[in-house]
């Protein structure tokens, strides 16, 4: 496992150089002890994992809790977790890089707080990329210390003539639902 820091890139290939084509993005989190606690009147923390496809700087498609599959079938959201309760990945998005529509050259992996909680309230939040064929964790991006925004661009999958790579971003943006994010994601492409 390799833990990426902001700005670091990783070629999506096995140690033998074969391309990794089936990815799983796992998002996990725990709420802060004082946020959304029983009797507090505050909602549970509801983070959402999303994948937003771009062709150049134009939106192509997205997969998230309200649109579980991209039109090309390459990206699938496996269901919404409204609380972060439970161990392991709370939300999962799968990406089949071999099925991505040819003009799509970027896929942004995004986390957003549906209820509008600042990410500084989120405990133990992480995003991880797993080679879905071998179940090997390729990269993990930790959210440490939190950011005052309600969204986080975790990583960008980028296609070039040599194949796919992932670039860790880890930058906060003001967004609660992924459909609001298109213009805010362009600077990260």
Domain of 165, in residue numbers = 2-188
The stretch 114-126 carries a mean pLDDT of 77
What does DSSP assign to residue 151? E
CATH number at residue 161: 2.60.60.30
The answer on pLDDT for 144 being more than 60 is no
Greatest Cα pair distance, the chain, in angstroms, is: 54
Measured in degrees and rounded to the nearest 5, phi and psi for residue 114 equal -60, -40
Residue found under tokens 């298109």 = 182
Hey, CA dihedral for 176, 73, 1, 187, is it positive or negative?
A: negative
How far apart (Å, rounded) are the C-alpha atoms in residues 7 and 160? 17
Supply the pLDDT for residue 36. Answer: 46
The answer on pLDDT for 7 being more than 90 is no
149, 119 contact by CB (below 8 A):
yes
Tens digits of residue pLDDT in 14-46: 788 889 899 999 998 876 655 544 445 566 778
Tens digits of residue pLDDT in 150-172: 888 988 999 999 899 999 888 88
Tens digits of residue pLDDT in 59-92: 999 999 999 999 999 999 998 777 777 777 889 9
SS in 3 state form for 49-115?
Answer: EEEEEEECCEEEEEEECCECECCCCCEEECCCCCCCCCCCCCEEEEEEHHHCCCCCCEEEEEEEECC
180, 51 contact by CB (below 8 A):
no
How far apart (Å, rounded) are the C-alpha atoms in residues 186 and 189? 5
Domain count, the chain: 1
């Amino acid at each position: 496992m390799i833990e990426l820091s902001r700005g670091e890139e990783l070629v999506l290939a096995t140690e033998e150089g074969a391309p990794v084509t089936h990815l799983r993005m796992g998002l996990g989190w725990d709420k802060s002890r004082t946020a959304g606690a029983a009797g507090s009147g505050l909602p549970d923390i509801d983070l959402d994992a999303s994948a937003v496809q771009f062709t150049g700087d134009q939106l192509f498609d997205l997969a998230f809790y309200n649109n579980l599959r991209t039109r090309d079938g390459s990206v699938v959201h496996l269901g919404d977790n409204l609380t972060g309760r439970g161990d392991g990945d709370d939300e999962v998005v799968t990406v089949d890089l071999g099925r991505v529509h040819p003009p799509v050259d970027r896929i942004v992996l995004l986390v957003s707080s549906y209820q509008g909680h600042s990410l500084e309230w989120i405990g133990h939040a992480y995003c991880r990329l797993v080679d879905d064929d071998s179940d090997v964790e390729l990269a993990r991006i930790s959210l440490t210390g939190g950011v005052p925004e309600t969204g986080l661009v975790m990583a960008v999958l980028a296609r070039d003539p040599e194949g796919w790579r992932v670039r860790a971003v880890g930058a906060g943006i003001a967004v609660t639902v992924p459909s609001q994010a298109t213009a805010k994601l362009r600077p990260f492409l």
